[in-house]
Structure 1
Amino acid sequence: MLYFHSGHHQQLLSMQQQCKQATSVGDLHRLASDIDSFCYYLHNHHTIEDKHVFPLVARKTDISHLEAHHEQLTQLLADFKNCSNQLKQLTSSNKDISVILLDTTSLVNKVATLVNEHERAEEQVIAPDNMKKWFTESEMKQLFPILLPIIISAAHKPCCSVTNPLACNTSVFVATFQLNSLIGSVYGFYQTSSEYQPVCIFRALWRLTSIAGTCYSYALQSINRHFFAVFYKYQYLVTFRVHWYMIVLRWIISIGISTVFLASPDLLGFDKEVRFCSINVKLLKLTVFGLVAGLVVSLCSFMSIYGVILYRAYKSSRQISNMASHTTTPHVPNAKREVKLAKSILILAGIFGSGGILFMIIICWQILTPMSSPLKELHLFSTTVFVISCTALGQLGDSLKCFDCKSCNGPVNKNNTNISAEYNGTNYSCWKITARNVATARGIMEYCVEANVGGFGTWCCKTDLCNGAILPVPVTYLVLLMTFGSVTLFFKGS
């Protein structure tokens, strides 16, 4: 919270400085844009606080003074928005802007005073000493949900880059898989876990959907990277609409693969070897279909696409070098990205392979020796490795990348690239690019070009705000322990 409050303070200081330096209608137009941005950030920030933080705090202490501030802020921000609209309507024919500038300066100062006072009061309420006094450890965890990065990505504008919805959707699939594994492990401790077949079939469908969704999520993320690295000239491919279509396609594929197994009541059910609800591996044709559709296709797609990207990264550096000139490795500007890419390929390929190889061995066993069942230990390791693989995929998921862009003072160099500037004591990387190269800058360099500062083509970004959209490691360990424990307990008793 302190970070966001500091950001609001910096925005207000920037607007106050602009009021002092404004000399033309163009300056007031830029001020209006900053006012809109500030109102957007502040509204979303307070929405998150009001829904997820302060309702719980209000049960422990009196925060009526904060509510009084909110009422004043609501009215003042409405005036702020009206002021922004008036500034946008100004034209070059308005020669005398002194009166308008005086009123705007007064309003900016009022907003700054009230917002700073309100946020200091919030910080006093949620000071560490107070939180320790009012809340237990379990209650503190309720203030910060597991999927908070998804909330941040949806509500905080700098986090709303085109790649973040894919990362958030991956975290949803991993979370549902872990929840399914946890529920299945709890059921596995009971001897009556083979009963209630409709519920068991539902858990099996749920499990198949989450596994297929996790696998295809990485295939579609590789397609997303392919759009940025190879097809960057086609700007419509890097829009939010295309990425939402990709998310819908992923859900259709995942649900479609799992619902195929509803064709017969014998295809899904309780597997007595592992005490889990899953596919009946003795029905080979559909089992092979599930393996190929859910694992092999996504693995081959992922490997082939990343192979093309890696090949182009080594063979063609013309576009990438131009955009990477501001990196800290000027001699080999692509080295860090290429190493990261190769590492991701090897790790993810290993996870995919280890997650399905034991299941493939069980299928081959059924084909070669149909009269005998595979070893129970093989079922144990197959189930456990599947849990580890999907969990590891979630832990290696793409981080949410959130960037905040500020204006930079000073001219660009003669090549219109690679200038560094100071903005309120913070270093920002700034360079001048054309709108055609925006997608390249976002995808390859992993920078978010947030706003065209000043309308002159100078883009300034700072990259230090990342939130991993993954479940905490203790939850992962709990799922693995429960899965391993329930299956081992069954083997011991059998």
Structure 2
Amino acid sequence: MLPELFYIINFSISISAAIIALTTAFLILITVICIRSCRTIPNLLICNTSVATILYYLLNLVSIFYALQNDWEQHQPGCVFRAYSYTALCAALCYSYSIHAISRLLFTVFYTHKSLQTWFIHWMMIIISWSISILTPTIPLFFQHGYQLENESRICLPTVKIFSTAICSVLIAFIIPLNIVASVYSSIFFYAWKSTYRIRSLNSHATNLMISSHTRLLKVKREIKLMQKILVLICLVLFGGTPYFILVLWHVLLEESPPEPFYLLSTNCIAIFISLKMITLFCMCKQIKTNVLHYLLKLQRY
């Protein structure tokens, strides 16, 4: 049995990460809601990620509250529902990045199809992603002990000890959405490479065609620069989910059990890297960051 101090330190780190992420997410939401110029399609997608982050950390704080109680092993109300919600919100976070990727695809590759770049299409993508995130995590409910209290981490989740439910949850909330992102970005990079190749092979006398192609290439390069920023966020999510995935494979490939601290550390990694992701997201969105800093300076003067 691990000492109580180990749990106190780890949960304190999770609480700190939650406070930072919640503050950042609420700042983003309030800025976009209050400032009309910030109400753009890219910022809509950022708000979608912020909402998923807020719900995730609120659930995480509830789990930590029960985990720090003296009777944590006997008193875990709504354990199955909290474990299901944990998987659903992790999925919602990862699918929110899939929407970012698909949106970039619509603006870069299918730029001539203006009907695909509307608010309606993006709202539909958000609704579909949340529907998938809510429905697919119900699958482990059909397995025995699909969702339960994991004693090593003191958290209700799809425990890594049962391979069928653990790998199902990893597929739903981690592997599938990240594969969608990888496929979409591969398509965009391939399109950009083809655009560059076309411009280089143009005849020097075809001036008008060169100007048109050059303009299109500049647009593609801007989109790729934005994609590079989003890929940084994807890497943060990847680093956060990898320890949990390693634990799942450990139980299958190795006969001996993993060290007990790894269970809590794997869930802590998710909370820490999601917080880092929100800070990075805020710093990358120049429009939102500028407005927030402007109003904070205004308040400081008063």
TM range (shorter): 0.7 to 0.9
The one-letter code sitting in structure 2 at the alignment partner of 1:245 is: M
Write the mapping of 1:288-307 to structure 2, written as runs, cut at 5 A.
288-307=167-186
What's the offset of the Cα at 1:266?
A: 1.4
Check if 1:466 corresponds to 2:288.
yes
- Structure 2 Cα separation of the partners of residues 225 and 249 of structure 1: 17
Partner of 2:247 in structure 1?
362
Deviation at 1:181? Answer: 2.1
Which of 212, 220, 227 aligns to 1:341? It is 227
Partner of 2:191: 312
For 1:148-168, what per-residue CA distance to the aligned partner results, in whole angstroms no more than 9, with x for missing partners? 543443454433322322211
Report 1:103-114 matches (<5 A). Answer: none
TM-score normalized with structure 2 length? 0.73
Which of these residues, 30, 48, 52, is aligned with residue 169 of structure 1?
Answer: 48
Gaps of 5+ in 1: 1-143, 326-332, 402-463, 471-494
Residues 339-380 of structure 1 deviation map (CA, whole Å, 9 limit, x = unaligned): 4533542x234323322322222122221346x432112213
SS in 1 for 2:156: strand
| Counterpart code for 2:262 | L
Give how far 1:207 is off.
1.5
**CA 261–310 in structure 1, closer or farther in 2 if over 3 Å, else same:** same
Cα distance change, pair 465–385 in 1 and its aligned pair in 2 (3 A): closer
CA distance in 1 between partners of 2:118 and 2:225 (Å)? 27
> Unaligned 5+ residue runs, structure 2?
1-22, 197-210, 293-302
How far residue 241 of structure 1 moved from its aligned partner, in angstroms, is 1.0
Q: Which residue of 2 aligns with 1:378?
A: 262
Task: Please say if residues 211 and 390 of structure 1, whose CA atoms lie closer than 8 Å, have aligned partners that are also in contact.
Answer: no
The size of the alignment, in residue pairs, is: 256
> Are 2:126 and 1:238 equivalent residues in the alignment?
no
Give runs of aligned pairs for residues 367-446 of structure 1, distance below 5 A. Answer: 367-369=252-254, 372-397=256-281
Match of residue 322, structure 1, among 200, 211, 215: 215
* 1:150 is aligned to 2:29: yes
Distance between the aligned counterparts of 2:153 and 2:60, measured in 1?
12
Q: Which residue of 1 aligns with 2:158?
A: 279
Task: Give the distance between the partners of 1:348 and 1:357, measured in 2 at CA.
Answer: 14
Conserved in 2, the CA contact under 8 Å of 1:147 and 1:469? no
In the TM superposition, residue 288 of structure 1 has moved relative to its aligned partner by 0.9
Measured after TM superposition, the shift of residue 254 of structure 1 is: 1.0
The 1:231–1:194 alpha-carbon spacing in structure 2 relative to 1, beyond 3 Å, is: same
Partner of 1:222: 101
Indicate how the Cα distance of structure 1 residues 342 and 158 shifts in structure 2: closer, same or farther if over 3 A, else same. Answer: closer
Query: In structure 1, what is the equivalent of residue 132 of structure 2?
Result: 253
Distance 2:114 2:161 in 1: 48
149 and 350 in structure 1: CA distance in 2 versus 1, 3 angstrom threshold = closer
> Partner of 1:447 in structure 2?
none
Secondary structure of the equivalent of 1:163? Answer: helix
Q: Note the C-alpha offset of 1:278.
A: 0.9
Using the TM superposition, give the Cα deviation of residue 319 of structure 1 relative to its aligned residue in structure 2, in angstroms: 5.7
How far does residue 316 in structure 1 lie from its aligned partner after superposition?
1.4
1:397 alignment partner AA: L
User: 3-state DSSP class of the match of 1:205?
Assistant: helix
Q: Which AA in structure 2 matches 1:270?
A: L
Structure 1 residues 300-358: Cα deviation after superposition (integer angstroms, max 9, x where no partner): 11112112222323431676742788xxxxxxx8766644533542x234323322322
Q: How far apart, in 1, do the equivalents of 2:110 and 2:34 lie?
A: 29
Contact 1:321 1:334 survives alignment (8 Å): no
**Distance in 2 separating the partners of 1:269 and 1:285:** 14
Q: CA deviation at 1:173?
A: 0.6
Written as runs of structure 1 = structure 2, the 5 A alignment for 1:124-135 is none
Give the whole-Å Cα distance in 2 for the aligned partners of 1:256 and 1:334. Answer: 36
The secondary structure found in structure 1 opposite 2:237 is: helix
TM-score normalised to the size of structure 1? 0.46
User: 1:380 and 1:151, CA in 2 relative to 1: closer, same or farther beyond 3 A?
Assistant: closer
SS in 2 for 1:270: strand
Residue 59 of structure 2 corresponds to residue 160 of structure 1 = no
**1:32-82 deviations in whole A, cap 9, x for unaligned?**
xxxxxxxxxxxxxxxxxxxxxxxxxxxxxxxxxxxxxxxxxxxxxxxxxxx
Partner of 1:474: none
Report what 1:414 is aligned to: none
Q: 1:340 to 1:153 in 2, by over 3 A?
A: closer
- Whether the aligned pair in 2 keeps the contact of 1:171 and 1:397 (CA below 8 Å) is no
Deviation at 1:205, TM superposition (A): 2.0
- More contact order relative to length (CA 8 Å, sep ≥ 6): 2
CA distance in 2, matches of 1:239, 1:337: 17
* Greater helix content: 2
The structure-2 alpha-carbon separation of the partners of 1:275 and 1:319, relative to structure 1 and needing over 3 Å to count, comes to farther
Q: Which has the higher strand share?
A: 1
Instruction: Report the CA distance between 1:223 and its aligned residue.
Output: 0.2
Deviation, structure 1 residue 250: 1.2
Q: Match for residue 15 of structure 1?
A: none
Whole-angstrom distance in 2 between the partners of 1:200 and 1:319: 59
* Inter-partner Cα distance in structure 1 for 2:213 and 2:68: 55
